[in-house]
A and B are shown apart, each in its own frame.
Chain A
Amino acid sequence: MCASAQSWSDHVFQLLKDHDISTVATVPDAGLTGLLELCRADAGVRVVTLSSEEEGIGLGLGTWLGHGRLLVCMQSSGAGNCVNALALPAATRTPCLMLVTMRGGVDETNPWQVPMGRAVRPVLEAMNVACFEAGQADQVAVLFEQAATLAFGEGRAAAVLIGQSVLGVKRFNE
């Protein structure tokens, strides 16, 4: 893992603690590896592996109803799977905090990733999710703090989108 990924993962992990987020639901992505390893190593954080990302939206609602707090993490393609589910936080005015590692940016080497990658922000915004885009590693923690404060303070959906400029680009060796 490169130094910047270690750094933002450490900061986000600390913010989970600060915001009493004790469940992390995910369909993993390479960019989430550091954060998920920190979560799995901590007895106070439950990592729930999902079969599809939208389950995390329902799981988050149920967790909130039970007075808990959840973060759902996914790759950008998973944001597309969440669209209909995002009616739940919108209609119930409950928190939904998402961390999305992006594919499909300008340096993407797999063109099949581009349509959903380009659609993430407009699609999430259409479903009333406030989006916070981090293009540099040192922005991630600041934006995560803002998103978590908005989500849990106002009872709404918020997503931190971490760009490929932070994560690096997946290469296909041929």
Chain B
Amino acid sequence: MNDAGSKALSRRELVANVLASRGEALVVAGLGSPAWDLFAAGDAPENFYLWAGMGLAAPTGLGLALARPERRVLVVTGDGEMMMGVGSLAVIGVEAPANLSILVLDNESFAETGAQQGLTASGVDLAAMARAAGFAEAVTVRDEAEAQVLPEVLFKKPGPVLAVAKIALTQDAPAYPSRDGACLAGRFRENLAGAR
């Protein structure tokens, strides 16, 4: 179980607080709860929600970051999703996009499938793995005081950066974006079309 106890961060509050500082950032959410968190914080055409492809949130964000170097790109995903795509940390470290940030919402559980224990519950340290892969910065925050650094780290620091937020294991109100992938992709692209 999460060792942060009653002080553990609320995922919905955390994501809403971080996104309040997003500015012009483009945001990609990994499948499951992080996508619901992003939608709950406020839908926008600058948001892209994955509904499948576990492990591919970071590569999707990397592709977007390389294609749009003038825009900050934030990937919001879960610990299980990031662990499945952990090799992509090496790819990102090598490509070193200064505009890419990753926020891992880490409840140490596969929350979407019944809260089975995840690998980070046993001490696997995603921030250390990101540092070892060559990320410019990687931090772990465990309470609200520590989480104050997230807007600065995710939107101001030169990337690639990764932040792990240790969150409480919670059941949150349903908040589902459209399931029409073509609609989500088309909306996102059209919004960017005139933006360069």
Interface residues of A (CB under 8 A from B): 23, 46, 48-52, 54-68, 70, 84-85, 87-88, 91-94, 155
With A58-B53, A58-B56, A59-B62 known, 9 other A-B pairs at CB within 8 A are A23-B63, A23-B66, A57-B59, A59-B63, A62-B67, A63-B64, A65-B60, A65-B189, A88-B60
Q: Is the CB of B52 within 8 A of A65?
A: no
Give the residue of B58, B60, B87, B95 whose beta carbon is less than 8 angstroms from that of A61: B60
Residues 60-81 of B, flagged 1 when their CB comes within 8 A of A and 0 if not, give 1111111110000000000000
Q: B65 to chain A: which residues have CB within 8 Å?
A: 62, 66
Interface of A is mostly: helix
Q: B196 to chain A: which residues have CB within 8 Å?
A: 67
Q: Is the CB of B94 within 8 A of A57?
A: no
Q: A51 to chain B: which residues have CB within 8 Å?
A: 87-88, 90-91
Give the residue of B52, B85, B91, B193 whose beta carbon is less than 8 angstroms from that of A67: B193
Give the residue of A48, A49, A70, A84 whose beta carbon is less than 8 angstroms from that of B54: A84
Q: B176 in the interface, Cβ–Cβ < 8 Å?
A: no
Shortest Cβ gap from A91 to chain B (Å): 4
A59-B62, A66-B64 known; A54-B56 Cβ under 8 A = yes
Residues 166-196 of B, flagged 1 when their CB comes within 8 A of A and 0 if not, give 0000000000000001101100110011001
Q: B55 in the interface, Cβ–Cβ < 8 Å?
A: yes
Shortest Cβ gap from B82 to chain A (Å): 13
Q: A46 to chain B: which residues have CB within 8 Å?
A: 66
Q: B57 in the interface, Cβ–Cβ < 8 Å?
A: yes
CA distance A59 to B95 in the complex (A): 12
A58-B60, A58-B63, A65-B63 known; A92-B184 Cβ under 8 A = yes
What residue of chain B has the Cβ atom nearest to residue A59's Cβ?
A: B63
Which of A57, A58, A63 gathers most chain B CB within 10 Å?
Answer: A58
Q: B105 in the interface, Cβ–Cβ < 8 Å?
A: no
Shortest Cβ gap from B88 to chain A (Å): 5
